[in-house]
Chain A
Amino acid sequence: MIRSAIEGVPDKLKCGMRVSDVDPAKVTIGPSTGFDEETLTAVTSGRVDPAVRLFIETAAAMRGCDEPAADALAGALLESEIPADMGADALEKALAAIDESDRAIRSVSRSARLSAELSGLPEGVRSAVLDAEAAAGWRYAGPGIRVLPLDLGGSASAEILRISAGAAAPRHSHKGMEYTLCLIGGFNDGPGSYGPGDVSVADPDVTHRPVADDDGPCFVLAVTDDDLKLTGFMGVLQRLVGG
């Protein structure tokens, strides 16, 4: 469905998605064209799957096509709210909850090195990584490959992969579409090379084997919709490609 939408559109698209001449499965989000207002609010207000939201917000921020003015407006409106009375012990309760969460968070420090590698990324994804490190943590997934599953609470699955320089992710296919956003470093999957901010879209027919560039580790955010429930993402992508 998405693929057919992508194949039919011109190389340079008005809304920020560009499809490579070489490979229709490779989609690159172009720099700084911004989202239309409806997509922007749909993505930020939770009307799309949380994994998709993280994916799109991160890609947009990395490519400089997010919209700081929209959130700044919301921030200004928050300041203008007439305060609603909180319970008398609200602060004490918050501080008690903080003490508890501080105790739980101490165990996270073992992952500090990986977090440092990710420190330059947009806040949403850094925050998701911190939460995931505090929960399941990184898993070994083959030589040179580590996986961090993100529990975002939606129907799509999202994970961060860390592929060591020159290492290859296991050859794999998937039941649904797989969307990969290159976060740091670069990789090559045969038909295409990807750098930070590039998006690869693979449909269920594609069996691929991403290999990290040999100049450093590569981090990607991968979102898979095995259940084919990603109507939100379908919608956003279709809007973006004009389908």
Chain B
Amino acid sequence: MRPDDTSPRPPTRPAGDGLAETDRERFADLLGAVAASRDRSAYAELFSYYAPRVKSYLMRLGADAALAEEIAQDAMVTVWRKADLFDRRQASVSTWIFRIARNRRIDVFRRSRKPDLDPDEPMVLPAAAEAPEARVEAKETEARVREAMKGLPQEQLDMLNLAFYEGLSHREIAEKLDLPLGTVKSRIRLAFTKMKVRLDGDA
């Protein structure tokens, strides 16, 4: 879907305001109400916040407005259907809905675009092992990720955006930004490691 679209693209990275922690908690309550009592007014509120943002996300990835709207609709119906799978200890509503939107996007575009992992790419070594019991609750992770994002230089945040939000491969990012593959790898690694250090820092 990406390479040859002509639709206007939003700016390089989402530039609006994120939710305050109290709002994130409230949205989790609303989704809980959808799961527990099929609460339509709670759902309507979630829909009015998330559907337009999911549509933006899909347009950012190259879908035209009509297709983006259709997939956003579909993702929001999935939100209703799977509300009882939501576990607020594991993820925020935004993270959970992002995953649903990403999966819908993958389902839809799998037919047209299907590059596999590039076997020629050397692997980037993972960070050192961390103990599983050190995992923090989702609420904590969400708060710290936001804090860490504020402290990252623009350039590194852009890299993380392309890799983890837009889902581009390192090679695609290198082509898009006209940078050597090695530079992209090391910048992403640096940025992600920095972010994780901030996450783990005062655990």
Which of A's residues lie within 8 Å of B, judged by CB? 14-16, 31-42, 44-48, 50, 63-64, 68-87, 90-91, 93-95, 97-98, 101, 105, 123, 126-127, 130, 153-154, 231-232, 234-236, 238-239, 242
How far is it, in angstroms, between the C-alpha of A45 and the C-alpha of B71 when the chains are bound? 16
How far is it, in angstroms, between the C-alpha of A127 and the C-alpha of B107 when the chains are bound? 15
| 26 pairs, A vs B, C-beta closer than 8 Å | A16-B126, A31-B132, A32-B129, A32-B130, A45-B106, A48-B116, A63-B132, A69-B192, A71-B91, A73-B149, A73-B195, A75-B94, A76-B94, A77-B14, A78-B54, A81-B57, A83-B16, A83-B52, A90-B51, A90-B69, A98-B80, A126-B85, A231-B117, A231-B119, A232-B117, A234-B119
Give the contacting residue for A33; candidates B16, B80, B129; CB below 8 A. B129
Collect the chain B residues with CB atoms within 8 Å of residue A238's CB. 119
Which residue, B40, B43, B160, B163, has most C-beta atoms of chain A within 10 A?
A: B163
How far is it, in angstroms, between the C-alpha of A42 and the C-alpha of B126 when the chains are bound? 15
Collect the chain A residues with CB atoms within 8 Å of residue B48's CB. 91
Give the interface SS of chain A, mostly helix, strand, loop or mixed.
helix
Given contacts A44-B102, A84-B68, A127-B85, contact A15 B125 (CB under 8 A): yes
- Extra A-B contacts (14), CB below 8 Å, given A16-B126, A47-B115, A73-B145: A33-B129, A36-B124, A37-B124, A41-B167, A41-B169, A71-B99, A71-B164, A76-B94, A76-B145, A78-B94, A81-B60, A86-B69, A91-B48, A101-B80
Docked-complex contact A81 and B14, CB < 8 angstroms: yes
Docked-complex contact B121 and A75, CB < 8 angstroms: no
Name the CB-closest residue of A to B198. Answer: A69
For the A-B complex, the count of residue pairs with Cβ-Cβ distances under 8 Å equals 235
Collect the chain A residues with CB atoms within 8 Å of residue B10's CB. 81-82
Which of B's residues lie within 8 Å of A, judged by CB? 10, 13-19, 40, 43-44, 47-48, 50-57, 59-60, 65, 68-69, 72-74, 76-77, 80-82, 85, 87, 90-92, 94-99, 101-102, 105-107, 109-110, 115-119, 121, 123-127, 129-132, 135, 138, 141-142, 145-146, 149, 160-161, 163-165, 167-170, 185, 188-189, 192, 195-196, 199
Give the interface SS of chain B, mostly helix, strand, loop or mixed.
helix
How far is it, in angstroms, between the C-alpha of A95 and the C-alpha of B76 when the chains are bound? 10
Collect the chain B residues with CB atoms within 8 Å of residue A239's CB. 117, 123
Name the CB-closest residue of A to B97. Answer: A78
The 5 residue pairs across chains A and B that have the minimum distance between CB atoms: A45-B167, A75-B95, A46-B106, A83-B52, A64-B132
Collect the chain B residues with CB atoms within 8 Å of residue A235's CB. 116-119
How far is it, in angstroms, between the C-alpha of A232 and the C-alpha of B81 when the chains are bound? 30
Docked-complex contact B165 and A73, CB < 8 angstroms: yes
Min Cβ gap A86→B in Å is 5
Collect the chain B residues with CB atoms within 8 Å of residue A84's CB. 52-53, 55-56, 59, 65, 68
Collect the chain B residues with CB atoms within 8 Å of residue A48's CB. 116-117
Given contacts A44-B167, A72-B145, A95-B40, contact A80 B18 (CB under 8 A): yes
